[in-house]
A and B are shown apart, each in its own frame.
Chain A
Amino acid sequence: MTMIEALRDAHEVAMAADDRVVVYGEDVGYFGGVFRVTAGLQKKYGKSRCFDAPINEAGIVGTAIGMAAYGLRPVIEIQFADYVYPGMDQIVSEAARLRHRSAGDFTCPIVIRMPTGGGIFGGQTHSQSPEAFFTHSSGLKTVVPSNPRDAKGLLLAAIADPDPVIFLEPKRLYNGPFDGHHDRPVTSWKKHPLGEVPEGNEIVPLGKAAIRREGKDVTVLAYGTMVYVAEAAAAETGIDAEVIDLRTLLPIDLDTITASVQKTGRCVIVHEATKTSGFGAELSALVQENCFYHLEAPIIRVTGWDTPYPHAQEWDYFPGPVRVGAALKTVMES
């Protein structure tokens, strides 16, 4: 199934199992969301458990916090990650701190889903990757699935989690594993092994990375769309890269990262978001702190440029397999 179908399936499983799970957001109810993730849920579970919200992200997040304090399990959709900023105060100052500041008197088990990343000619308002804003805020978990199987399992884990979870869905992966070659035919999840999604309530635990490609030359740390870009770069350069799909950015799976880098001695970090103070900076610091004496070469980051996400120049901005491949060669030569 596609990632959209897998996400919808996770909603179905969670809503069927637990009346406390309520789903809302802009265009989420009757229409089923602009990407159709919630299609059919209102019809099946009723208007009080899946409904349309006003265009007001602070209100969507703020009401979800109140609902969670009451005892519900809200799963809310922000239409694009680029639109989350009006809700940031509610996320960062409220949801993230409620358990701590009330010493557990009130908690905030909410899931905030949002399509993230570029590759769809969405320009600067439909392409951003804001994950570092969330990982920088204590009290939030941040998840980025890269395939339908993980999308379902991680979303089920997020809904079951007792704390607020930011769930970033790489929109370019909704319908197929995109490797960054935008001039080639689109591939679909149908033929991909990770497009096979188990039935029922099978979770993928938060905080665990997955090794997508084993290798001995260099470790590539990636998440979301960049997992497929990294795999393509390894295949095209012939460099035996170990590609790690982080899946959860916070809490980070440091053990998997350090084991791999200590084995390969080299590390390339790839993400779509802007470079400066991006999540790659944190990864680079962690690798340096934990693997310094195993490193054979400087760590390289391949990221989006520190510019607003462009429209016509999308493929010059997007860190594609050519740029990642060049980084792999550089790190092997030093």
Chain B
Amino acid sequence: MTDTPPLSLNVPEPGCRPGDTPDFSDFVIPRAGAVDRPPVDVDPDDIRDMAFSIIRVLNKEAEAVGPWAEGLSQDDLLQGLRHMMLLRAFDARMLTAQRQGKTSFYMQHLGEEAVSCAFAMALEDGDMNFPTYRQAGLLIARDYPMQTMMNQIYSNAKDPLHGRQLPIMYSSKEHGFFSISGNLGTQFVQAVGWAMASAISGDTRIATGWIGDGSTAESDFHSAMVFASTYNAPVILNIVNNQWAISTFQGIARGGVGTFAARGHGFGIASVRVDGNDYLAVHAVAKWAAERARLGHGPTLIEHVTYRAGGHSTSDDPSAYRAADEVAAWPLGDPIDRLKRHLIRIGAWSEDRHVQAEAQIRDEVVAAQKAAEAHGTLGQGTAPSARDMFEGVFETMPPHLVRQRQEAGF
């Protein structure tokens, strides 16, 4: 034993840090159209290779190619572009509003707009999403009023959550959007429970769970996978791999090898990866997984490969932990730009119309913002009543809370 060298701890490091030149040469990107489209009742064992590939539809020339190109109508695509542009404009205004002190906190979607916007359009009314804090496209694309979102962000008098929750932790049962916790990973297994309930009830509705690359390391991820697998739950389990968990690169959660999608193999769950910056690919994969779930063929694990082009939240500065030009070097591009170029290529859009649309969308967002701010911003104007914080802890307020509310003077 004296000849045995001492052990050392492996701590993975990202390819580049501030000051380094970004290098994605190790990132294998299949060409668009290269991945087969299996039938929705496929045996997960027969598509294990899909967890190591990436489903892509839009190629470098902005053409929609291959078996996952569904032939979405021009109207559908224009609507998708509009949703992503709305989300980006909304984010920009709210980020500024946070900097102006109108709210405490904000999280933007920059670079990830296709994931939630395209996914939302593949679901049916009555389906339920269990999102994280970076899927507001699920609301925008399903016509949840922007002004109501802003009221929540401002915790103002019209905040549907009465000022109780952090900004952006929306909730809308009506729009299939489960209350965001803010705790990481907890909602993943709740989505499985909702899907199990649908199956128990003989319903046809499905659930979707959402989690980030970093939070897949939480035990809730394992819990969700076990339950989804055991009960063949009608659920789509989405991992949004945006490469960064605050300052921690994806390799810390993933380990040195494999992909996040490959986590599904141990559970016998159909597992695929999709180009998360390709609106058409996300939509096609979501449609496929939704049909699979709705027809009783079981859960699907989808790894959306994307890149968080902005900070994690308004509380961190990405330049402190990653190279500033990594965003520009990201090989899957920008989702809005890619769909825009596709629409131009098929003759449905132009640079001029895009510029006009940007201005019009900005006006819409500003109008919603003005309307929201008329009801106050955090700490300014009419706020939710302090009395309200004692309400809704239970359906009926128990005596000890009545006493505490009186003690507090409300």
Contact = CB atoms under 8 A, between A and B. Distances in A.
Given A65-B193, A67-B200, A103-B392, 14 more contacts: A59-B223, A59-B226, A62-B193, A64-B193, A66-B196, A86-B219, A89-B220, A101-B171, A101-B179, A102-B161, A102-B165, A162-B395, A250-B398, A252-B400
13 contacts: A56-B227, A59-B192, A62-B190, A66-B194, A69-B178, A86-B219, A90-B189, A94-B183, A101-B161, A102-B179, A105-B179, A106-B179, A254-B400
Nearest to B174: A105
Contact of B128 (A48, A69, A103): A69
A100 interface: yes
B171 A106 contact: yes
Nearest to A63: B193
Nearest to A106: B179
Contacts, number: 141
Contact of B160 (A70, A89, A103, A141): A103
Contacts of B210: none
A200 interface: no
A240 to B, nearest CB: 29
B189 A100 contact: no
A89 B223 CA distance: 13
Contacts of A139: 393-394
A13 to B, nearest CB: 20
Contacts of B207: 66
B309 interface: no
A100 B162 CA distance: 9
Contact of B201 (A58, A63, A70, A250): A70
Contact of A103 (B162, B200, B201, B219): B162
Given A90-B186, A93-B186, A103 B171 contact: yes
Contact of A101 (B130, B164, B199, B226): B164
B194 A54 contact: no
Contacts of A56: 222-223, 226-227
Contacts of A70: 128, 193-194, 197-198, 201
Contact of B393 (A58, A100, A106): A100
Interface in A66-86: 66-67, 69-72, 86
Given A66-B189, A89-B186, A207 B160 contact: no
A66 B192 contact: yes
Given A72-B201, A99-B395, A58 B223 contact: yes
A163 interface: yes
Given A62-B186, A62-B189, A66-B197, A99 B173 contact: no
A90 B189 CA distance: 10
A198 interface: no
Query: Is the interface on chain B under 10, 10 to 19, 20 to 34, or 35 or more residues?
Result: 35 or more
Query: Is the interface on chain A under 10, 10 to 19, 20 to 34, or 35 or more residues?
Result: 35 or more
Contacts of B398: 207, 250-251
B274 interface: no
A154 interface: no
Given A66-B197, A89-B186, A105-B171, A54 B393 contact: no
Interface of B: 128, 130, 160-162, 164-165, 169, 171-173, 178-179, 181, 183, 186, 188-201, 207, 219-220, 222-224, 226-227, 230, 392-395, 398-400
A106 B173 contact: yes
Contacts of A63: 189-190, 192-193, 196, 227
Interface of A: 22, 48-49, 53-54, 56, 58-59, 62-67, 69-72, 86, 89-90, 93-94, 98-107, 138-139, 141, 162-163, 207, 250-252, 254
Contacts of B171: 101-103, 105-106
Contact of B399 (A49, A98, A102, A251): A251
Contacts of B172: 105
Nearest to B233: A63
Contacts of A62: 186, 188-190, 192-193, 220, 223-224
Nearest to B171: A102
Nearest to B392: A100
B128 A54 contact: no
Given A102-B179, A103-B160, A66 B190 contact: yes
Contacts of B193: 62-67, 69-70
Given A48-B200, A66-B192, A94-B183, A100 B224 contact: no
Contacts of A67: 193-194, 196-197, 200
B240 to A, nearest CB: 19
B315 to A, nearest CB: 20
B227 A54 contact: yes
B189 A163 contact: no
Given A56-B223, A94-B181, A72 B197 contact: yes
A84 to B, nearest CB: 14
A93 B188 CA distance: 14
Contacts of B219: 58, 86
